[in-house]
């Protein structure tokens, strides 16, 4: 058996049947772990489907305080028998009708060189790489109760991950679909789960960074600034500097930009660039800082630098391709129109 799709689901009776049909030609089995459905999800049938209640995480309340996404994903993965594990959500779809080509690639000799495969996933305006396929024999486990990360327990580093830009996925449950109130409620739930985790894992830098990200998402700017400064006080001067520190400084810069403190934002972004040069996100944010501060020449320079970046990864964070093309182009177009207005006035 080549591919097992392992999905955690809760009240997905509306979406899951279409998901099973959509990925039917790609996978050999669907392993669905139900974590608390009350809408009939457990009654769904499909020739390739095995569905079971989570033995430890079945919670009917909408946002349980003790939930653990990593543990749920691990339980779903333990159901699998395929050589490769595919981990979509119930609202994932392939952007193009090329399931056969993807299956052929995963069965190829080239894929056998790797422990995991990244594909690009779009959600609303954001497009980021995600590890979606894992070789089951490599002993990977998910860690962290939310914003799960992957840990390989039987692979000697470095872990070999293939990024395949030719296969793209779409996440249907975007912020726009959820609506602002439900989206904010979900972010607050995530924040609560992270804070609970940090009570016993206070040295977990990536999860402190997730706290900062959620505070920025919720636009709780004062709290985000305090969180960023706390992280920098603990980890900012350690040697070697963690790549995540560049991401922390970029989010602190976003807080400064939001509050009109462009000089402070410039300092944070230039410091971040010393840790993570050539990243389009930092270059774009510096261009945006200059644009909002009225220095159009410097803004134009940094927008162009963002588009010329060879490194499309965001240091310490998701490699969102918007920062490489779309957003710098918007900034350049805004500057062009502003200059035209000034010439005509």
Give pLDDT tens digits for 300-319. 999 999 988 765 544 334 44
Please report whether residue 184 resides in a domain. no
The reply to whether 213 and 128 lie within a common domain is: no
Q: What is the pLDDT of residue 175?
A: 65
Measured CA to CA, the distance from residue 271 to residue 161 in angstroms comes to 29
Task: Please count the structural domains in the chain.
Answer: 2
Range of the domain at 303: 202-344
Does residue 336 lie in a domain region? yes
**Is residue 300 domain-shared with residue 219, that is, in the same domain?**
yes
pTM: 0.85
Same domain, 11 and 128: yes
pLDDT band at 343 (very low <50, low <70, confident <90, very high): confident
Integer Cα distance of 127 and 150 in angstroms: 20
Longest CA pairwise span in the chain (Å):
70
Query: Strand order of the sheet with strand 29-34?
Result: 49-53, 29-34, 3-9, 84-86, 126-135, 116-123, 161-171, 92-94
| CA nearest to 217, candidates 193, 178, 195, 188 | 188
pLDDT digits (tens, 9 = 90+) for 258-269: 999 999 999 999
**190 belongs to a structural domain:** no
Residue 187 lies in a domain: no
């Amino acid at each position: 058996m080549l591919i097992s799709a392992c999905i955690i689901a809760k009240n997905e009776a509306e979406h899951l049947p279409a998901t099973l049909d959509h990925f039917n030609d790609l996978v050999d089995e669907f392993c669905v772990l139900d974590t608390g459905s009350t809408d009939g999800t457990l009654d769904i049938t499909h020739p390739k489907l095995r569905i079971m209640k989570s033995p430890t995480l079945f919670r009917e309340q909408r946002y349980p305080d003790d939930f653990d996404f990593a543990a749920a994903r691990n339980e779903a993965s333990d159901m699998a028998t395929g050589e490769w594990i595919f981990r979509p959500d119930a609202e994932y779809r392939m952007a193009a009708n090329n399931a056969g080509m993807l299956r052929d690639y995963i069965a190829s000799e080239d894929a056998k060189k790797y422990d995991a495969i990244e594909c690009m996933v779009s959600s609303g305006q954001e497009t980021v790489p995600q590890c979606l396929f894992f070789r089951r024999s490599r002993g990977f486990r998910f860690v962290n109760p939310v914003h799960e990360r992957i840990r390989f327990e039987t692979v000697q580093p470095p872990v070999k991950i293939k990024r395949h830009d030719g296969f793209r996925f779409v996440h249907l449950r975007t912020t726009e679909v959820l609506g602002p109130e439900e989206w904010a409620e979900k972010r607050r739930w995530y924040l609560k789960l992270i804070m609970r985790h940090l009570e016993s894992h206070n040295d977990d830098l990536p999860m402190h960074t997730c706290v900062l990200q959620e505070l920025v998402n919720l636009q709780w700017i004062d709290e985000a600034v305090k969180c960023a400064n706390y992280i920098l006080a603990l980890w900012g001067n350690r040697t070697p500097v963690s790549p995540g520190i560049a991401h922390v400084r970029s989010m602190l810069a976003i807080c400064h930009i939001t509050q009109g403190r462009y000089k402070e934002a410039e300092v944070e972004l230039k410091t971040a660039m010393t840790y993570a040069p050539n990243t389009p996100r930092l270059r774009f944010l510096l261009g945006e800082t200059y644009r909002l501060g009225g220095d159009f020449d410097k803004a134009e320079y940094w927008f162009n630098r963002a588009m010329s970046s060879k490194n499309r990864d965001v240091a310490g964070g998701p490699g969102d391709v918007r920062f490489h093309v779309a957003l710098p182009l918007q900034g350049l177009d805004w500057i062009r129109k502003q200059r035209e207005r000034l010439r005509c006035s």
